[in-house]
Every structure is written in C-alpha cells, then in structure tokens.
C-alpha cells in the first residue's frame, strides 16, 4: 500500500494540500480527479519529494518515503511521469529515454527496456535521433511516459497523460496503462477526463481546493453525484474530508 497521511504541502508561503490522506492499494489503478487547482499534481510531486511537505507522511509498504530525496525514489521503484513539458528539450529522444535508466541497478536492462518502450511507442523509434524540444505535444507526452517506464517502476504516478492530446492518442495511452495494470504495476492516475479514468480505475478520489472530498470504489461511483461534487454544485455534500479506503 502506498499511504499518504495528513499530508500538508505547498510552495513556500502558499500552501496547496491541506492534510490529505489517501491510500493506494498495490496492484490497483487509482484515479485522482478534480478541477484545476485542486492540488492533484502537487500531491504527486509531494509524494516524490519535489514539493516540500510541512506535515504528514508518505510510506510504501510501511517504509517511510517522506524524508527520502527525490533522486532515491527511482531506486525504490517509484516513478512519476510528469507532463510532457518536462522532457529534456536539449537532448535527443533516445537520450531522454536513456536517462530513465540512470540508477545503477537499471543500467544493465537499458537495451531491453529501450526496445520495450519503442515497441509501445513506435513514433519514438522513428524520432529517436531528434531533439525532444522539437516534438509535438503528443509525442512529448509519449516520451515522458516512455522515459518513466525505463526504470520498470513498481509504482507509477502519472500526471494528466491525456492533457491536450487527440482522442486517438488518449485511447492508445489508456490501453498502455491497462497493460501495465495487468502486469501488476500500481498506478496512480491524475486525470481530468473523468469518464475515461473511471473506465480503467479500481478506486477513485475526488479532490477540490487542496482537500479530498470523495473516496470510492470506481464501480460504486454515482457519476451524477461525482459531477455535482466536482463542480461544487449547490446541495452537494462536500465535507467528507477524511474519506479514505480502508
């Protein structure tokens, strides 16, 4: 279980997450949905140590992660696939992927994983010698994803993989996520495309304004109620702040 407990985090004087607690069972795909500014991306970054936390803890199978440096996470089996803008623009596609295998234990399998990623994203093989800065938005997103898979993570955090992409590519990316889930990878998916996320997820969290306002099994989600909460419509119960899967 990847466990987030009472986490408070933010950027300097601006606090974003207000004591959020979430559980991510191993082997499952958990979706985090919510409007812009809900703190979804900040949560993923805080788990990886990219955003400083002021309170609370993160642990993986009881092993504390809160005080570990971001660069230790890859060796511990965690990977964050950030938005496509975070590729190494001045490096080629292949060099970007190679950096995904930087931690020493992963270097031996570099060739095999490169082939695997090129198999998943044939477009990247075509563009392997091209600078990442010259890729289209969709290609950069695929590159960010491929790079994250190069370390064969046990736990994969993904930030809005469908953002700004054509529906065909979004479907492709969701197919790949389904495949990873079948291989037993634990996935935390931050996504604005609620319907697609629900189709794939085992559990769902809804966040708004830095708090968790709903936690439910995906199969049990009432879409209308979810949307009411999502858009903070009048009359919707929005104070289940401590909702957590047990």
Partner 1 sequence: MFELILQALYSGLLVGGVYALIALGLALTFGTMRVINLAHGELVLLAAYMAYVVESRLQLNPVFAVPLAVLVACTCSALVYLLVDRIRKNRELNSLMLTFAIGIIITNAVLLIFSGDVRSTGSPFMQDAVQLGPLFSMKSELGAFVVSLVLVLALWQWLSRSWYGRAVRAVSSNRDAAKLMGINPAKTELISFIVAGALAACAGVALYSSSVVHPPLGHALTVKAFIITVLAGVGSVPGVLAAALLLGVTEAMTVTLWSSALQELVGMTLFLVVLLVLPNGLFGSAKRRG
Residues that bind partner 1 (CB under 8 A): 48, 50, 69-75, 79-80, 82, 85-91, 95, 98-100, 102-103, 107, 133, 147, 151
Closest CB 220 distance from partner 1, rounded Å: 34
Smaller CB separation from partner 1, 131 or 236: 131
Find the shortest distance in angstroms from Cβ 129 to partner 1.
12
Report the alpha-carbon distance of residue 246 to residue 237 in Å, rounded.
21
Identity of the residue, 132 or 206, whose beta carbon is nearer to partner 1 in the bound complex: 132
> Residue ranges of the alpha helices (H) in the chain?
40-48, 70-73, 93-99, 104-107, 110-120, 122-126, 137-149, 167-182, 194-200, 223-230
Nearer to partner 1, 73 or 221 (CB): 73
* Closest distance of CB 39 from partner 1, Å: 17
As a whole number of Å, the end-to-end CA separation of the chain is: 11
Minimum CB distance to partner 1 smaller for 19 or for 95: 95
Taking phi over 0 as left and psi of -120 to 50 as alpha, with beta for the rest, 55 belongs to: beta
Q: How far is the CB of 169 from partner 1 (least distance, A)?
A: 21
Cβ distance 101 to 109 under 8 Å? yes
Q: Which is nearer to partner 1, 141 or 194 (CB)?
A: 141
| Cβ 95 to partner 1 shortest distance, Å | 6
Q: How far apart are CA 33 and CA 59, in angstroms?
A: 22
Give least dist CB 74 to partner 1, A.
4
* Burial of 239 from C-beta contacts in 10 A (0-12 / 13-18 / 19+): exposed
Between residues 18 and 88, which has the closer beta carbon with respect to partner 1?
Answer: 88
User: Which tokens in the block code for residue 164?
Assistant: 């700004």
Pairing of strands 53-60, 211-217: unpaired
């Amino acid at each position: 279980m990847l466990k987030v407990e009472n986490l408070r985090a933010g950027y300097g004087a601006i606090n974003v997450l207000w004591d959020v607690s979430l559980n991510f069972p191993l082997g499952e795909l958990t979706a985090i949905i919510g409007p812009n500014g809900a703190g979804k991306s900040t949560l993923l970054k805080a788990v990886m140590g990219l955003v400083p936390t002021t309170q609370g803890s993160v642990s993986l199978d009881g092993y504390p992660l809160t005080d570990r440096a971001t660069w230790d996470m890859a060796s511990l089996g965690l990977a964050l696939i950030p938005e496509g803008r975070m590729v190494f623009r001045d490096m080629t596609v292949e060099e970007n992927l190679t950096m995904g295998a930087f931690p020493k234990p992963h270097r031996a399998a570099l060739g095999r994983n490169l082939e695997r990623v090129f198999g998943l994203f044939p477009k990247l093989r075509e563009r392997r010698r091209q600078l990442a800065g010259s890729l289209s938005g969709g290609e950069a997103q695929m590159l960010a994803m491929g790079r994250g898979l190069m370390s064969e993570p046990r736990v994969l955090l993904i930030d809005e993989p469908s953002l700004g992409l054509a529906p065909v590519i979004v479907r492709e990316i969701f197919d790949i996520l389904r495949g990873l889930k079948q291989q037993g990878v634990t996935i935390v998916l931050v996504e604005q495309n609620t319907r697609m996320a629900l189709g794939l997820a085992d559990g769902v969290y809804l966040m708004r304004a830095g708090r968790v306002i709903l936690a439910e099994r995906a199969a049990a989600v009432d879409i209308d109620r979810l949307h009411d909460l999502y858009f903070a419509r009048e009359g919707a119960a929005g104070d289940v702040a401590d909702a957590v899967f047990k």
